[in-house]
Amino acid sequence: MQKRKLGKSGLEVSALGLGCMGLSYGYGPATEQQEAIKLVRAAFDRGVTFFDTAEAYGPYKNEELLGEALGSVRDKVVIATKFGFDFGADGGQSGMNSRPEHIRAVAEASLKRLKTDVIDLFYQHRVDANVPIEDVAGTVKDLIGEGKVKHFGLSEAGAKTIRRAHAVQPVAALQSEYSLWWREPEEEILPTLEELGIGFVPFSPLGKGFLTGAISESTAFDSKDFRNVVPRFAPDARKANQGLVDRLTEIANTKGATPAQIALAWLLAQKPWIVPIPGTTKLHRLDENMAAAGVALTADELGAIENALSEITVQGDRYPAHLQARVDR
């Protein structure tokens, strides 16, 4: 696995990371603990050194899983986790919270769950409109000074917020959705990151599974799968968006690759400081995804992808309204 540096931060990670959320949360029942540990360790064995989690995934269970799975190789991996939410008695999110005292409390709790003495990359999970971003950045700056955190990150933050935060504490990475079926970051975010020397970590690089070709209009999701409430995954939208996957599959076939590998290789080809974090619960999908790091797309092939997909307008919002409201502009 090749390595990449996240912007000017000096933080070096594998070219592809592992998004671990789905092992504990979001896509149906959690993976059995030992099976999840086996998959995380298999990723490490295949060269992955960048693992993404958050207190919200479970909540808490995913951090505990990584603490268990990566303890024996802790000095060889980079673990990113996140703060920014309150949770109710039922474990559900009860609102955003990035107050300085809360950030500190989350850091201490995450360190214990991850069984480590330092968090490599600490993201604000979503921008909190009630707390000035300067206060958030300043708190993480203090945690870095205390040796509890190494790098500061933001997630789904807009360009103005990124600039304000970066002026207080350099932002190592932004984590936001970016893929062949969600390209909004190209408008303002990517130029801002390039200017400031900030790395980019695309989540959902495979369109929450849609770009793999394994999902059709008739696919039934588990009752706990959050895609049930995502407009882009309504049956009509899936049917309308199938053309994108069909074109991607045609391109993949000519390259001797899979649609997922082309989608990941396309992201890797955009900028040398982009590190996608595809997630999976299946070993064969892990192998498929990791092999994408070895798929090199030529300028002609990238042009062909651009031309083929420019004819397609993706249907459906990527979030339901209540979640879209949390995305910073």
pLDDT digits (tens, 9 = 90+) for 126-181: 999 999 999 999 999 999 999 999 999 999 999 999 999 999 999 999 999 999 99
pLDDT at 34: 98
β pairing state of 3-5 and 12-14 = antiparallel
Each domain of the chain, given as residue ranges in start order, spans 3-324
CA–CA distance, 83 with 312 (Å, rounded to integer): 36
| 275-309 confidence digits (pLDDT tens) | 999 999 999 999 999 999 999 999 999 999 999 88
Q: Are 262 and 295 in contact (CB under 8 A)?
A: yes
Q: Indicate which residue of 25, 27, 57, 178 is catalytic.
A: 57
Any catalytic annotation for residue 57? yes
- Cβ of 233: how many Cβ atoms within 10 Å? 23
User: Which residue, 320, 308, 309, is CA-closest to 232?
Assistant: 320
Q: Which CATH number fits domain 3-324: 3.40.50.970, 3.30.2270.10, 3.40.30.10, 3.20.20.100?
A: 3.20.20.100
Element (H, E) at 4: strand 3-5
pLDDT at 89: 87
| Residue-level pLDDT, tens digit, the chain, 329 residues | 999 999 999 999 999 999 999 999 999 999 999 999 999 999 999 999 999 999 999 999 999 999 999 999 999 999 999 999 999 988 888 999 999 999 999 999 999 999 999 999 999 999 999 999 999 999 999 999 999 999 999 999 999 999 999 999 999 999 999 999 999 999 999 999 999 999 999 999 999 999 999 999 999 999 999 999 999 999 999 999 999 999 999 999 999 999 999 999 999 999 999 999 999 999 999 999 999 999 999 999 999 999 988 889 999 999 999 899 889 97
